[in-house]
Structure 1
Amino acid sequence: MAVARHVADTVLFEGYVLYPYRASATKNRLRWQFGVLVPPSWTAVAEEHDFQRTELLMEPRRGATLALETRFLHAGRRTVQRALPDGGFETVPELRLDDRVLVPWDEGHEEQVRLTVAVDELAGPGVVVPFTRPAAETTEPVTDKAGRVVGRLVRRREEISGVLRIVTGELDGPYTTRRLSVVVENTSDWTPAEDAGRDAALSRSLVAAHTLLCLDAGRFLSLTDPPEWAGGEVARCRNLHTWPVPAGEPGTEDLVLSSPIILEDHPSIAPESPGALYDATEIDEILALRTAALTDEEKREARGTDDRAAAVIDLADSLPAEVLERLHGAVRGLREVTTSGTPRTPAPAAGMPDLGPAAPWAGAGGADGAPRPDTPWWDPGADASVDPAHDHVLVGGRPVRAGSRVVLRPRLRHTDAQDLFLDGRRALVEAVLHDVDGGVHIAVTVEDDPGADIRREQGRYLYFQPDEVDVADPGEAS
């Protein structure tokens, strides 16, 4: 399962601490949004769930064993106390040190429930695994640069309880396929007080809960791209508050990650990512640059908010220029297509054709022996039937081609604010383009645009669809 834990860790800490990584930030005051399984009593107070249900198909071989690992965060409250002259401590809203500002914060302690069981034992009533994580309280002294104790951190976690229910059932048909059902449920016995808030429920919740499944002999079927014969049974699988996808390397079928965040099959972390940034709905490059631009005081507060936030600050401050450059973008591969949008050659499991050791499109043949064009698919020269300089499209029954003059009518679509300035303007058609999906686009330059010659030289045109232009009357004034 170590193969899938890299992605699973991203699920576990998604939204754990958000940019700008300070407890005082508004969006860090409403955390824990993904995969939260609250105590049953809290479901009557808020529209949140106390269980997840994973259901998928598998084809285990004879004597196969299923390994299961449910992972979640156990939220605990960290309070800050200052040392008093008499040796005691008092709780304070912050404790300022030379390198950081310590503030109260809800931390997440990693938990997991593991089970290995023979698949044959899951038939009938299945297997039920209750689990409990007890309440705990710890203290950690805080010292200054001279080594003197100036305060302490007090961490408290409440007791939580849950249960795993795993069962299989055989399907009718010629295949030895089974339906696997895994339910993760919070069974904590807690009654909220009248004034209890979500924080009280979170301390007794399974946060960012997700499950890893692994067969030592056999395979799981993808719910996104199942075999044709399994389509009906896959449609009957009921997945509630989670979604299972094949994990691990593309082409493998023995590992599944059931995640509260919808993922594609075989999800992976971009190799360019320098480290965990937690605010994964953003782009690494933007987060790194924004984090590096925080003021020294903001960085001190972030370092005192959480150890993981401190690591993000240190990471952003230490990224060399070549790493930042890699974050700007990467081309994974180029898929060769015809003008109809159909791949010329079958793609391997990785999703891209094998172009071999030579540069793409460098020769007449690839590593698989399939013919390669002398020009890439996005070059009009790749298909003699496409000629933007001479192709035409009918607008109001009249042909429009390169050299035609049209009146722009983008108000019909209201694509953006620029439409207000272009509506009714005359333009010169530079090309009529056909995309691989059969769409037609008219490339134009505006007649009285002083930069039209530069745009024409650089090929930087404005693009409109046929229903966004009228054919200009030759006698109409500009």
Structure 2
Amino acid sequence: MNAAVVDGIVKAVLYEGYMLYPYRPSAVKNRQRFNFGVVYPRAYSVAQGGTDACTMQTECLVLGTEHTQCIVRVRFLRMVARSVEKLLPSANDLSSVKKENFEKTERFEINGRIYQAWQEAVEEVIEVTEFNLSALARQPMQWPFRLSARQESETIRDEHGAIVGMVRRDTESISGTIELAAAIAKQGLFKITARISNDSRLGDSRPVSREQALARALVSAHTILEVRHGEFVSLVDPPEAHRDSAATCQNVGTWPVLVGNENERDTMLSSPIILYDYPQIAAESPGDLFDGAEIDEILSLRILTMTDEEKREMRQSDERARQILERTEALPDEQWMKLHGALRGLRAVKGELP
């Protein structure tokens, strides 16, 4: 496996749609985010009549023997609710400040700095240790996981050093299960099933909004499968001998493709965004823009045409947005020429031209 190639594709899938141009929280298109690969808590899914899934299932084929081993990793984003509060009146320390003195606000600007309420994200990975496929065919396994809640806070001070506000970051707990099973499709061919379930509790019985459910959801979830002493079978273009077995694979909310260098068959990426086998990041791309449906050159040029105030909000709203802005503003001329276009896939013409 080419780890660098695989990781590049995984990162692109993980952050697709994370924040869209014009990369500001105030933009309409950034008010409802995280629409790919969301595995919601079961209770929320039931309340929505199953339209918002609480499970994700991958099925794929492996050519192997009794010695074939497999590793499964589930990667996803976990929401971090960033809230902003004003403190009235200001104080030099928090020892005498009461909770009711804080007042939530969507936006707070002081000393040229903008503080905004927002949903940040952290990357999470759940790894199921190496297991034997023959043993899995005899006995399915469950791998429960739990991520604890976290709380962080930082004070906002004015030019005199007095505390005038607070930024809080709250991360809710998430619990779930990875279920693994294998079946012998035919001699030397296994069918693997990897199913992700979100069992997070939502607390009281009151109706829960999508934003509240997202706090305990697996966002942009995808599954990476690696095999040793065996090889995966393409589901995009399966060999004729395995076409019938490939047709029985049921993938729910995700689609597995081969990843890595061309013709390597030891790694499969099951993604909520449908890809072809061996997807690649264009060599001309200077970095993530979180929008695979757009053209890098056009997005980058649009960023440069933003006003100073728009750039200020972009820079201060999110760390990843800041990186996009600074990278775009620093692009050298030769990189812009690369973004303008590239010619690939030329083949010799056989026979006479018409």
TM score, norm. by length of structure 1: 0.67
Q: Secondary structure at the match of 2:340?
A: coil
Structure 2 stretches lacking a partner, 5+ long:
none
| 1:95 and 2:104 matched | no
2-structure distance, mates of 1:148, 1:292: 36
1:85 CA drift (Å): 2.3
2-structure distance, mates of 1:121, 1:104: 49
1-structure distance, mates of 2:334, 2:158: 36
1:212 CA drift (Å): 0.6
Which of 143, 147, 154 is residue 133 of structure 1 equivalent to? 147
Matched with 2:219 is 207
Distance 1:98 1:167, change over 3 A: same
Q: Secondary structure at the match of 2:202?
A: coil
1:124 CA drift (Å): 2.5
Instruction: Identify which range, 80-89 or 144-153, moves more after superposition.
Output: 144-153
2-structure distance, mates of 1:238, 1:299: 45
Distance 1:274 1:304, change over 3 A: same
The sequence identity of aligned pairs, in percent, is: 38
Q: Secondary structure at the match of 2:138?
A: coil
Letter of the aligned partner of 1:110 in structure 2? E
Q: Secondary structure at the match of 1:72?
A: strand
2-structure distance, mates of 1:335, 1:149: 66
- CA deviations 1:231-257 (Å, max 9, x no partner) are 111011111110000000111000100
TM score, norm. by length of structure 2: 0.90
Which of 246, 263, 284 is residue 251 of structure 1 equivalent to? 263
Q: Point out the structure with the larger strand share.
A: 2
Letter of the aligned partner of 1:334 in structure 2? L
1:53 CA drift (Å): 0.8
Matched with 1:123 is 137
Matched with 1:70 is 74
- CA deviations 1:443-472 (Å, max 9, x no partner) are xxxxxxxxxxxxxxxxxxxxxxxxxxxxxx
Structure 1 stretches lacking a partner, 5+ long:
339-372, 374-381, 387-478
CA contact (8 A) 2:90 2:162 kept: no
Matched with 2:90 is 85
CA contact (8 A) 1:41 1:192 kept: no
CA contact (8 A) 2:90 2:164 kept: no
Matched with 1:55 is 59
Matched with 1:168 is 182
1-structure distance, mates of 2:15, 2:348: 37
Which of 13, 16, 36 is residue 15 of structure 2 equivalent to? 13
1:317 CA drift (Å): 1.3
1:118 CA drift (Å): 2.4
CA contact (8 A) 1:42 1:192 kept: no
CA contact (8 A) 2:39 2:54 kept: yes
Distance 1:257 1:189, change over 3 A: same
2-structure distance, mates of 1:258, 1:299: 36
2-structure distance, mates of 1:236, 1:312: 43
1-structure distance, mates of 2:160, 2:142: 53
Q: Secondary structure at the match of 2:334?
A: helix
Matched with 1:24 is 26
Distance 1:320 1:202, change over 3 A: same
**Paired residues, number:** 340
2-structure distance, mates of 1:129, 1:96: 46
| 1:44 and 2:57 matched | no
Alignment of 1:150-299 (within 5 A): 151-172=165-186, 175-190=187-202, 194-299=206-311
1:337 CA drift (Å): 4.5
Matched with 2:334 is 322
Letter of the aligned partner of 1:42 in structure 2? Y
2-structure distance, mates of 1:253, 1:125: 25
2-structure distance, mates of 1:113, 1:92: 35
1-structure distance, mates of 2:292, 2:205: 35
- CA deviations 1:276-304 (Å, max 9, x no partner) are 11122211111111111111111111122
CA contact (8 A) 1:162 1:186 kept: yes
Q: Secondary structure at the match of 2:67?
A: coil
Distance 1:318 1:97, change over 3 A: farther
1-structure distance, mates of 2:257, 2:193: 14
- CA deviations 1:340-383 (Å, max 9, x no partner) are xxxxxxxxxxxxxxxxxxxxxxxxxxxxxxxxx7xxxxxxxx33
- CA deviations 1:421-462 (Å, max 9, x no partner) are xxxxxxxxxxxxxxxxxxxxxxxxxxxxxxxxxxxxxxxxxx
1:147 CA drift (Å): 7.6
1:93 CA drift (Å): 2.3
Letter of the aligned partner of 1:288 in structure 2? S
Matched with 1:468 is none
CA contact (8 A) 1:136 1:158 kept: yes
1-structure distance, mates of 2:164, 2:344: 52
Q: Secondary structure at the match of 1:333?
A: coil
2-structure distance, mates of 1:146, 1:248: 55
Q: Secondary structure at the match of 1:204?
A: coil
> Considering only aligned residues, what root-mean-square deviation do their CA atoms show, in Å?
2.1
1:320 CA drift (Å): 1.6
1:189 CA drift (Å): 2.2
Distance 1:194 1:167, change over 3 A: same
2-structure distance, mates of 1:330, 1:144: 50
